[in-house]
Amino acid sequence: MSKSTLESLPNELLLMIFGYLSSFDLCQAFLDVKNARIEHLLTSIRHTLDVSSMHYNQLRQFLSNINNDTTKHFTALIDTVVFRHSPGCMMFLDYWEKALNDTALFNMLLPSIKQLLILNADYYQYGLIDPLLISLAFHNNTLQRLNLIFDTPTYPYSSILSDLVLHHISVHTMILEVEKGHEFDPDDGLEDLHKMQQLYWPNTVQLTLSIQHSSELMLLLQRGALPMIEHLNVTNEEIRTVLPLDRHKSVGNIQLCENDLRQIGDGTRLRSLLLRYFTLTDVIILIGSLSMPLLEQLILVDLYDHKSIERSHRVAIVKQILDASPNLSHLKIHWKDFRHCSQTYSNLKHVHFVLDRLFPEPKQHINVRQLTQLVPHLYSLETSDANIIYDENLVKFVLKIIHRFHQLVYLRLNKDGLYPVKEEKKIMFKERLIAAGHNRLFDCNNIQIEFPGYNGLCIWL
């Protein structure tokens, strides 16, 4: 029997084995091995240093041996650093702060870091900005992604945000997440963007941020504040937005203003925009006053309006959004709002319709001829909410969709459906569909039909 050695294993198997070890343990075990193939595999991996997962003695030895050739080789490979609230992270930050006075030592610590993830960022309010982020953003200049995760949008969040604004700390991707918003009483004493130094993040292309008031959106979109921004994700943490009983309480003198947005706003580089917990009025003002010619994706999550909206008003809002977004390619919308549109939207390629639950037959939900006129170049079509029944009417509907949309690649009906369908009924439907379409619309051997979940139907053409 031939003897197997580690070096005799193929690269794919070695990489699988490496995946069971942390980057620290992996490099400790193999960086000293004089083997060009293993060294090549180690350098091909994106290494993460999760400081909180290291034992006290491990971290102490690592920091005390920072001048060691093996340690220097390892630190040069670190792509991502993860901090959590732990004694090890505080030890690392203390060491980092001391290293700022020693340029050679500082340059050896994390010379190639591209991503920094800080969980429980609330606990780093006083030891985060000066020793860590300023040095990474300006001295090192390799950092590309900063992700800070906070428990609540309270004082630590606004304090760290204020410091980031004050020092103009700006990297390609900046994500300041809040895990528990809208759960606390409003604190009017919190510092918001109106009270901070003027925002200027010149290098930020992608930004996720929570704000205290909707009017702060003007400062994010102000010309020159985010000159490179392409992807903007904003959550309004103002709890009064979602409390109808408090809607008459004052939230300050500054409001989202259409005239101001037209004069100072700049959305010319935006490709995607996500707004969460805003009022419908705010969104209408934004869409009506800000030009976003490159916008490809607009996502509105949990909009609020404490008065019922007439159908004609809803349709007008939809038309206004679509007219203002000529590059929009993805759209999720209620069909009964979209069907009243009259223009052709050739830019829309991926559409998801939310349907009424009242009608079991697809033709009662969607007029395929009208749909062809509205979105003639569909690549994918999805429906949800309604329970479309697996019967002969659905077979006819699917065939009509495939016949009308020559560019269609993906069709999904009853997405996230909750109504169970017997297996034999699914098999019967599949056989009917293939038989009806055979030699006419598609080759049954070149399509894939699946039934994900309960009553879901997926067809990959």
pLDDT computed for residue 247 by the predictor: 45
Residues 234, 289: Cα–Cα separation, whole Å: 18
pLDDT computed for residue 252 by the predictor: 46
pLDDT computed for residue 250 by the predictor: 40
Count Cβ atoms below 10 Å from residue 150 Cβ, excluding itself.
26
**Nearest by Cα to 112 from 49, 65, 32:** 49
pLDDT in tens, the chain (461 residues): 456 677 778 888 888 878 777 777 777 777 777 778 877 887 778 888 888 888 888 888 888 888 888 788 888 888 999 988 778 888 888 888 877 777 777 777 888 889 999 888 877 765 666 667 777 777 667 889 999 998 888 888 888 898 899 989 999 999 999 987 765 555 556 778 888 889 999 999 999 999 988 889 989 999 999 999 999 999 988 765 555 544 444 444 456 777 778 888 899 999 999 999 888 888 888 888 888 889 888 888 887 776 666 777 778 888 888 887 888 888 888 888 888 888 899 999 999 998 876 665 666 678 899 999 999 999 999 998 888 888 888 888 888 898 899 888 999 998 888 888 888 888 888 888 888 876 665 666 677 888 887 888 898 88
What is the DSSP code string of 11-34? Answer: HHHHHHHHTTS-HHHHHHHHTTS-
Alpha helices in 292-339 (DSSP H): 311-323, 335-338
Residues 376, 370: Cα–Cα separation, whole Å: 10
pLDDT tens digit sequence for 298-312: 888 887 776 666 777
State the Rg of the chain over Cα: 27
* Contacting residues for 84 by C-beta, under 8 A, at least 6 apart: 50, 51, 52, 119, 120
Enumerate long-range contacts of 37-45, CB under 8 Å, 24 or more apart: 37/7, 37/11, 38/7, 38/14, 41/11, 41/14, 41/15, 42/18, 42/77, 43/77, 45/15, 45/18, 45/77
User: pTM score > 0.75 for this model?
Assistant: no
pLDDT tens digit sequence for 353-400: 988 766 656 666 788 999 999 999 999 999 988 888 888 888 888 888
Place of tokens 């009424």: 356
pLDDT computed for residue 240 by the predictor: 58
Question: What phi, psi does 186 have (nearest 5°)?
Answer: -65, 140
**Token couple for 265:** 């706003």
pLDDT tens digit sequence for 414-443: 888 888 888 888 888 888 888 887 666 566
pLDDT computed for residue 258 by the predictor: 76
* Contacting residues for 37 by C-beta, under 8 A, at least 6 apart: 7, 11
pLDDT computed for residue 165 by the predictor: 92
Question: C-alpha angle with apex 213: 212 to 218, nearest 5 degrees?
Answer: 120
pLDDT computed for residue 2 by the predictor: 58
